[in-house]
């Protein structure tokens, strides 16, 4: 067997976690990432017929039964992932109500408490785009700050973000979904997030954080980056008299130039 610690999917995953911590998006044990893997990617690294142990999931997602995921562990710090992946990460196979641990969580740990939200979101995004394999959750500072001062509607939040950077309507033309404050780590917030994920690749949890989905780690990380950059500009300018902005007409020009399909109903 090859050493899984050298696998590109794992080293890229660990580097992404480190970047999210370095940027201040995932303090302490905040945030989580899940990456769907193909059996071919694990071939030669793990014996998929020899699970280490079984971990109850507390819910079921029939569309994902048998699917493989690399997932951050509960209570684990992103800053420690690169130094000790085997403790802080795990490879699981989803079952009906339990998951088989195939590698990782070597200290006896388990997957993130927000696994229900992740898997429900994966299921929703796979229906929207079968290429989507990544869900990331983080606590980006300025995005959280915006949830205190911007109406918690998809339209108002999206339009405020689009107006901050020329690239925003290009990077997330589908806009952002917004949820009111809800208790994290529950099936209820997972269901609400998945419902939004049917239409959006990014979902904001008010006073908590941001969920994002994408085809790979870079694309998903880039989506988080762009939303947070726009939120930063919004919060830096919010106390000031605004003399200029990107108008709705200019947003339409940008979308046409880059040939993106955007939420036209979000413009006034």
Active site residues: 114
By CB atoms closer than 10 A (0-12, 13-18, 19+), residue 167 is middle
Cα–Cα distance for residue pair 211/151, rounded to 1 Å:
18
Phi–psi pair at 55, nearest 5 degrees? -125, 125
Q: Count Cβ atoms within 10 A of the Cβ of residue 151 and give its class: 0-12 exposed, 13-18 middle, 19 or more buried.
A: exposed
The H or E element that residue 14 is part of is helix 8-22
Q: Report which of 85, 91, 110, 3 is spatially closest to residue 39, judged by C-alpha positions.
A: 91
Q: How far is CA 231 from CA 38, 120, 142, 239, in A?
A: 35, 26, 5, 14
């Amino acid at each position: 067997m090859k050493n899984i610690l050298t696998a590109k999917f794992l080293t890229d995953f660990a580097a992404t976690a480190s970047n999210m911590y370095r940027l201040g998006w995932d303090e302490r044990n905040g945030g989580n990432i899940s990456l769907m893997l193909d059996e071919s990617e694990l071939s030669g690294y793990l014996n998929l017929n020899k699970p280490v142990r079984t971990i109850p999931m507390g819910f079921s997602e029939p569309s994902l039964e048998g699917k493989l995921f690399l997932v951050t562990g509960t209570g684990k710090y992103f800053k420690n992932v690169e130094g000790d992946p085997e403790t802080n990460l795990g490879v699981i196979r989803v079952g009906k109500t339990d998951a088989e641990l195939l590698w990782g969580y070597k200290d006896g740990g388990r997957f993130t408490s927000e696994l229900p939200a992740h898997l429900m979101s994966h299921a929703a995004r796979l229906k929207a785009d079968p290429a989507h394999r990544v869900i990331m959750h983080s606590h980006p500072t300025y995005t959280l700050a915006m949830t205190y001062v911007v109406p918690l509607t998809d339209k108002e939040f999206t339009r405020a973000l689009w107006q901050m950077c020329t690239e925003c309507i290009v990077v997330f033309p589908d806009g952002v979904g917004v949820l009111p404050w809800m208790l994290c780590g529950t099936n209820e917030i997972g269901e609400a997030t998945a419902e939004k994920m049917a239409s959006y690749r990014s979902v904001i949890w008010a006073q908590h954080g941001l969920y994002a989905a994408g085809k790979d780690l870079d694309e998903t990380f880039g989506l988080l980056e762009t939303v947070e950059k726009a939120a930063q500009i919004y919060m830096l300018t919010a106390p000031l008299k605004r003399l200029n902005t990107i108008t709705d007409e200019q947003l339409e020009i940008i979308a046409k130039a880059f040939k993106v399909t955007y939420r036209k109903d979000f413009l006034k």
